[in-house]
Structure 1
Amino acid sequence: MLRESHKDRIQEEIGNDEIVTGKGLNQEISLVRAEDTRWNSHLKTITSLISLFPEVKKVLEYVEDDGDNGASRLQASGLLSYFKTFEFVFYMHLMLTILGLTNSLSQALQRKDQDILEAVDLIRTTKAQLQMLRENGFDQVLEKCYSFCDKHEIVKLDMTEALNPCNSFSQFNKSSLLKLSKMYPRDFDDKERMILEHELDIYYHFVYNDVRFANLNGIADLARSMVATRKHLSYPLVYRLLKLTLVLPVATATVERCFSAMKLVKTNLRNRIGDDFLNAALICDIEKEAHAKVKTEDVIDRFQKMKTRRGQI
């Protein structure tokens, strides 16, 4: 159904002169299953999902209405709802950009005949590209997100304009800011989002009437002014949200190390490990340098002091 739907769309776009034809163009594609540790497969999955996004939505709508069982219909409904959010579009394009920059390095490090000097140069170049993305690439990612949202009729979230101090905060949008906070569940829990809603009202009334915030040129100036006036202490949640709009998270090799370590620790024979024990085991494997500094005697003493024991270790 996915392939047939994609074929029909290509034929329609060719008939409307929306795409060009030629040898090797408009080939049949399908979704790619992502592997556990090879990030190259994740890049292929994201690119195919972007290319087949209308067809994926159509298949999910079909499963939602005519799925074999209630579980599949419910799962399709949940995926379909998430696919229509700006949050999903943003994450998808952000990971596409990051994985695209690191793809050459990822494939090179998997080759057995890799030259160490060439690998060092490639790492240095990739780090420089990621730093450029952090400093100057955020607008390009957002531009691609907005274009994708316009094409597929997804409601956009303007993260910069919602906090933009230009023109006396004329673009201030509390609902958009609250939606933005939901994109950072590790930084804002449910209680903090409820407090943030009221803090935004007080914050807007303050900055709108304070002449010190009258002639700012962007959110970077706004952040500096809040620190200079110590208002970042009075409005900590707003300032936290402001920092998140200024900082672009960049994936590192630590994530891949975690997945690799997890496959070694949680095997088929040990598939019922609890979260606490798994986290402790992964920390010992991943943070080898810190773990090497821990003395055996300290571990024995702490274990002995946890409770009264029959024998002395």
Structure 2
Amino acid sequence: MYDAACTVIDEGATYSQRGDASAASKMLSSFEFIFILHLMFKIMGITNILCQALQSRSQDILNAMHLVSTSKVLLQQLRNDGWSDLLENVKLFCLKHEIEIPDMSAQYVLGRGQSRQTNVTMVHHYRIDIFLVVIDSQMKELNLRFNEQNVELLRLSTTLDPSNNYKEFNIDNICRLAETYYSNDFTEQERLHLKLQLSHYIVDIPQSFQNITTLSELCKKLVES
């Protein structure tokens, strides 16, 4: 991307193209751009395993929930203790590639000109306005998508996992799932009978529905039968 911008600067057909390429080149070689790239590399390094697991059809839910938990812990550790190491790595990268490093104690300026000065220092801008805000945003998204109720629902759903010959099957968890999350789908009498019905189910289902390894396959088979 940087090389492409340099090529357009030298060989662009119009002044406008060369000007846009020059602005892009300056941005790509700025301390702030490099800082953000390093920060995103850190965050994506933490969350990538979770993202891959959630997209895998063979991923078991309990392991995915474990990865959610560990991702939150690692993000919190980065927030608490990762600032100094990240800043040092960014500085080393900038020194290696001859990119100007700002004085962190200086006042942060928005663009050019004294009229756009702010009331915060460079270290405040990079640590508070970028570093902490980005990490907090990522943690907020994880907490929103995987709140306590959602995690419990997913955990209880694993009891229907047909893999390993229905190893995770648990009658009490299924009854709790029906009572807590699907109360409108079962009458009171049906919920009372459910426990007895499930005792027959666990004996019959491994024999009737063989070679089924995922919850989605089980649901399709139940509808067909």
Once the two structures are superposed, the pairs formed by residues 79-158 of structure 1 within 5 Å of their partners are: 79-158=24-103
Give 1:83 shift.
Answer: 1.6
**Amino acid in structure 1 at the alignment position of 2:54:** L
Distance 1:107 1:255, change over 3 A: same
Q: CA–CA distance in 1 between the matches of 2:140 and 2:132?
A: 17
Question: Which residue of structure 2 aligns with residue 63 of structure 1?
Answer: 8
Q: CA–CA distance in 1 between the matches of 2:45 and 2:90?
A: 16
Q: CA–CA distance in 2 between the matches of 1:113 and 1:136?
A: 35
Note if contact 2:9-2:19 (Cα within 8 Å) is conserved in structure 1. yes
**1:75-112 CA-partner distances (Å, limit 9, x unpaired):** 21111111221111111111111111111111111112
**1:156-206 CA-partner distances (Å, limit 9, x unpaired):** 1243xx1xxxxxxxxxxxxx3224xx39xxxxxx97x54x4xxxxxxxxxx
Give 1:133 shift.
Answer: 0.3
Give 1:67 shift.
Answer: 1.6
Q: CA–CA distance in 1 between the matches of 2:27 and 2:21?
A: 10
**Amino acid in structure 1 at the alignment position of 2:138:** T
1:245 to 119, 127, 146: 127
Distance 1:255 1:157, change over 3 A: farther
Distance 1:65 1:238, change over 3 A: closer
Give 1:71 shift.
Answer: 4.2
Query: What's the secondary structure of 2:80's corresponding residue?
Result: helix
Distance 1:252 1:79, change over 3 A: same
Q: CA–CA distance in 2 between the matches of 1:149 and 1:140?
A: 14
Distance 1:114 1:131, change over 3 A: same
Give 1:113 shift.
Answer: 2.4
Contiguous gaps of at least 5 residues in structure 1: 1-55, 163-175, 184-189, 197-236, 257-313
Query: What's the secondary structure of 2:100's corresponding residue?
Result: coil
Q: CA–CA distance in 2 between the matches of 1:238 and 1:78?
A: 25
- The percentage of counterpart residues that share the same residue type is 36
Larger Rg: 2
Note if contact 1:63-1:72 (Cα within 8 Å) is conserved in structure 2. yes
Question: Which residue of structure 2 aligns with residue 5 of structure 1?
Answer: none
Q: CA–CA distance in 2 between the matches of 1:82 and 1:242?
A: 21
**1:38-95 CA-partner distances (Å, limit 9, x unpaired):** xxxxxxxxxxxxxxxxxx4443222112123444323211111112211111111111
Query: What's the secondary structure of 2:107's corresponding residue?
Result: helix
Distance 1:112 1:158, change over 3 A: farther
- Could you say which structure has the higher helix fraction? 2
Query: What's the secondary structure of 1:178's corresponding residue?
Result: strand
Q: TM-score, normalised by structure 1?
A: 0.38
Q: CA–CA distance in 1 between the matches of 2:57 and 2:16?
A: 44
**Amino acid in structure 2 at the alignment position of 1:88:** F
> Which of 1 and 2 has higher RCO (CA within 8 Å, sep 6+)?
2
**Amino acid in structure 1 at the alignment position of 2:10:** D
Note if contact 2:75-2:139 (Cα within 8 Å) is conserved in structure 1. no
Q: CA–CA distance in 2 between the matches of 1:66 and 1:152?
A: 24
Superposition RMSD in Å: 3.1
Runs of 4+ with >6 A deviation: 253-256
Note if contact 1:138-1:248 (Cα within 8 Å) is conserved in structure 2. no
Give 1:134 shift.
Answer: 0.2
Question: Which residue of structure 1 aligns with residue 158 of structure 2?
Answer: none
Question: Which residue of structure 1 aligns with residue 160 of structure 2?
Answer: none
Q: CA–CA distance in 2 between the matches of 1:116 and 1:149?
A: 42
**Amino acid in structure 2 at the alignment position of 1:117:** L
Q: CA–CA distance in 1 between the matches of 2:75 and 2:95?
A: 27
